[in-house]
Amino acid sequence: MTSDKPTMIEFQDVHKYYSDYHALRGISATIKAGEFFSLLGPSGCGKTTLLRTIAGFEGISSGVVLIDGKDVASVPANQRPTNMVFQSYAIFPHLTVAQNVGFGLRKDPRSAADKARAVDEALAMVGLSGYGGRAANALSGGQRQRVALARALILKPKVLLLDEPLSALDKKLRENMQVELIKLQRQVGITFILVTHDQEEALVMSDRIAVMFEGQIAQLDSPERLYRLPKTRAVANFIGTMNFLSAQILSEAGGLVEVEAQGFGRLQLDAQKQVTGSPSATGATIGFRPETATLLFEGQQATDRETMARVEEVVYYGDMTYYDVLLDGTSAAVRLSMRNVFGRPVLDIGTRTRVGWSPGALVLFR
């Protein structure tokens, strides 16, 4: 796992002010060597600012940034062992593809032939062999991105920084590039740090994700843990969809928490695996993901427990149908996602139905 790898980047209580605006509010985190790490958050959360402090384009107001164990406060951007793929790709429009890719080799002492070979290798790595002589202006969005990647990777940086690199591409191309980026990262073994506002992209690509809100890291975890056991309702809502029902904590003993949850009744939850967050004044909440509960059709038996409900809304997606249902004893609808299986009807609004669920899939936010 990533935990035994050496640290590549370390933030120690990093703050950043833009005059009055507090953009980074005490960031402390470590990023391991060879890790695919994502900074995920809504726009304005400080994720791009944090990335730019690694690149050296932004100074910090206080705290320490270490790259490979070295404090980089006094190291300018052009001497840091990092390279960046910009959101706009920043392909030099007056140069050819090969000149763009080889731009960083200008001061490299190798011979021109060796450099040309390095450029060819970099182009081959991103699947653009033979494109070297083309004008950079004549490339498509996807090709520009590959050129930007080749241009950054040719310098063999310790860390590759990617600032929303896929946001300018259309959906199909974006999904293809996600897979290609993962493969590329495994191939070169360099630490990749990705900034994105797209939670799906972060889940698909990352070894670990730091979810950021308002200049702070709300949670830093593996994609699976972020999805399964989000620390706050805000994180749960930013990553995928989560249903919430109010609950009351009755007792805590022996690693078990007993709660009375709206719609689900009295439950015992595992304090280690199912309870998260810090005690809040607004009261506890039970949360569950749409795919962890299921509609029970005629003849189907619940694997664990079941509750009656009424269908309030139906959203048909082709492969999936989303049902908003009102569980008996609750006042707000919850969303269930059902895979559409051949022969199974799509229910109408107003249908009375059974919902199967399992206490093990629930999460308690204190």
Partner 1 sequence: MKIPVLRIYTLGYLLFLYCPIVILPIFAFNDSTALAFPLQGFTTHWFDNVWHDAVLAKALKNSLLVAGATAVLATVFGTLAARANTRYKFKAAAPLMGLIMLPMVLPEIIMAMALLVVLLSVGIPLSLFTIILGHVLVCTPFAVAILTSAFQSLDKSLEEAAYDLGEGPFSTFRLIILPLVMPGIISAMLICFTISLDEFIVANFLGSGEPLLSTFIYGQLRSPKNVPNIMALGTILVGVSIFLLALAEFFRRRGLARTGAKDSGGFL
Identify which range of 2-10, 90-98, 225-233, 348-356 contacts partner 1 by CB under 8 A.
90-98
Identify which range of 150-158, 212-220, 262-270, 309-317 contacts partner 1 by CB under 8 A.
150-158
Give the span between the Cα atoms of 306 and 46, in whole angstroms: 43
- Measured from the CB of residue 53, what is the shortest distance to partner 1 in angstroms? 13
Which of 20, 107, 224, 279 is in the footprint of partner 1 by CB under 8 A?
A: 107
Identify which range of 60-68, 98-106, 188-196, 345-353 contacts partner 1 by CB under 8 A.
98-106
DSSP 17-77: EETTEEEEEEEEEEEETT-EEEEE--TTSSHHHHHHHHHTSS--SEEEEEETTEE-TT--G
C-beta of 63 vs 81, nearer to partner 1 = 81
CB 86 within 8 A of CB 148: yes
Give the span between the Cα atoms of 243 and 221, in whole angstroms: 21
- Cα separations in angstroms, 315 against 137, 262, 292, 318: 43, 25, 18, 10
C-beta of 90 vs 188, nearer to partner 1 = 90
Q: 320 phi and psi, to 5 degrees?
A: -130, 155
- Count of H helices and E strands in the chain? 8, 21
- Measured from the CB of residue 316, what is the shortest distance to partner 1 in angstroms? 41
Question: Within positions 56 to 85, which residues make up the interface with partner 1, using CB under 8 A?
Answer: 57, 77-79, 82-84
Identify which range of 86-94, 253-261, 275-283, 319-327 contacts partner 1 by CB under 8 A.
86-94
The reply to whether 297 sits near partner 1 by the rule CB under 8 A is no
Identify which range of 103-111, 297-305, 306-314, 338-346 contacts partner 1 by CB under 8 A.
103-111
C-beta of 107 vs 171, nearer to partner 1 = 107
* DSSP type of residue 137: G
Residues contacting partner 1: total by CB under 8 A? 24
Distance of CA 267 to the CA centre of its chain: 32
Residue 7-46 contact track with partner 1, rule CB under 8 A, x = bound: ----------------------------------------
The reply to whether 103 sits near partner 1 by the rule CB under 8 A is yes
Question: Nearest-CA neighbor of 338 among 287, 288, 286, 292?
Answer: 292
**299 SS3 class:** coil
Query: Please, how many CA atoms are within 13 Å of residue 271, restricted to the half-sphere of its CB?
Result: 10
- In the complex, the residues that contact partner 1 under the rule CB under 8 A are 55, 57, 77-79, 82-84, 86-90, 92-94, 103-104, 106-107, 137, 151-152, 155
